Amino acid sequence: MSNHQVLTASLERLVEPSSQLPLAAPLARWSVREQAPGLGVELLIGFPVTADGVAGLERQARTRLEAAGASLAVFDVRTRIAAHAVQPGLSPAPRVRNVIAVGSGKGGVGKSTTAVNLALALQRLGARVGVLDADVYGPSVPAMLGLSGRPESPDDKSIEPMRAFGVEAMSIGLLVDTDTPMIWRGPMATSALTQLFTDTRWGDLDYLVVDLPPGTGDIQLTLAQKIPVAGAVIVTTPQEIATLDARKALKMFEKVNVPVLGIVENMAVHVCSNCGHAEHLFGQGGGQAMAAQYGVPLLGSLPLDLRIREQGDAGTPVVAAAPDSAPAQAYLAAAQALAAHLAGRPRASIPIASSLA
């Protein structure tokens, strides 16, 4: 084995901090070359990374090389977000590399807030992102993103997505009046979801985050049967009554051949804004215990923070309104872990164009 191969193997043992996954194939690929006065190292990764993230990876690589008696002259990081495998019999959608479903077994756990902030976090990481509001009966994404008005239809057949904070969005809530109830039976609701997905003129997206309604009903089954999904995220709170229902959502995705990328534990801890005392109002460790039981990662534990509710109600989600705040940083870390775990999944057998950054 050549010296460069030894060094490459050493670099492959470095880990991505948020997911704790090794930076080796298929997640990443290293290239080491001579470049005076030291080595030139190139890292090709399958998920977006911030400038701070790149700097952290460079520090890790420099330390590892110096321990092996080598010096780092140039460090380059390139991102290539590929389309990943979906359910059998389906192919990735044109112009949408990866559909990520965000579900929960029950309502009231902050699933829509989590979905929107994860989408904005992926966009801040450098990806091209869209959000599809699949909750036909109770759409909340337009309000959370501060969207109003009607989307345009250039040909009376397709719909232009609306945009907010650099993210594309579509929802039945943008097509009907705010106070109009959707009194539809299951087939009408599922048909509406399919049309929203297929008739929207999505841009060239790396990720489309789909905010599902709570439960395991018709909408979820339609998503699994007709929409190509690369992976799912389960949102729960730590309390036992919430994780009981979240387990049902997880098992549903398993039964329909949609891989669960991980669990997001919402409202995990509240820190008093006056005294700084931390309290686990909804219990402690429920998400971690569920993740361990089913062998899936815990992508993150999000705080119960007043700013998340206030900014969501104002139509300016916390990741967009206060990106340096503790809640926003928690969403960014969860989004980074989500993207890394997806990058480690098998790629689609019918590839579509990849993004290079």
Beta bridge partners of 38: 35
Alpha-carbon distance 246 to 138, whole Å?
19
Alpha-carbon distance 181 to 203, whole Å?
30
Is 203 within any annotated ligand binding site?
no
DSSP H helical segments within 256-305, as ranges?
286-294
Phi/psi class of residue 354: alpha, beta or left (left: φ > 0; alpha: ψ in -120 to 50)?
beta
Nearest to 286, CA basis, from 270, 298, 273, 271: 298
Beta bridge partners of 133: 171, 211
Is 38 within any annotated ligand binding site?
no
**3-state secondary structure (DSSP) of residue 217:** coil
Is 106 within any annotated ligand binding site?
yes
75 near 33, Cβ under 8 Å?
Answer: no
| DSSP label of 276 | -
Residue 66 token pair: 């110096």
282 near 238, Cβ under 8 Å?
Answer: yes
Beta bridge partners of 164: 167
**Phi, psi dihedrals of residue 119, rounded to the nearest 5°:** -60, -45
47 near 77, Cβ under 8 Å?
Answer: no
Is 112 within any annotated ligand binding site?
yes
Spatial CB neighbours of 127, under 8 Å, sequence gap ≥ 6: 48, 81, 206, 207, 339, 355
Burial class (CB in 10 A: 0-12, 13-18, 19+), 230: buried
Is 110 within any annotated ligand binding site?
yes
Residue 210 token pair: 């789909």
220 near 250, Cβ under 8 Å?
Answer: no
Is 111 within any annotated ligand binding site?
yes
Is 129 within any annotated ligand binding site?
no
Token pair 């109009």 is found at 180
Instruction: Pick out the residues of the known binding site for ATP.
Output: 105-112
Cite the annotated binding site by residue number. Answer: 105-112
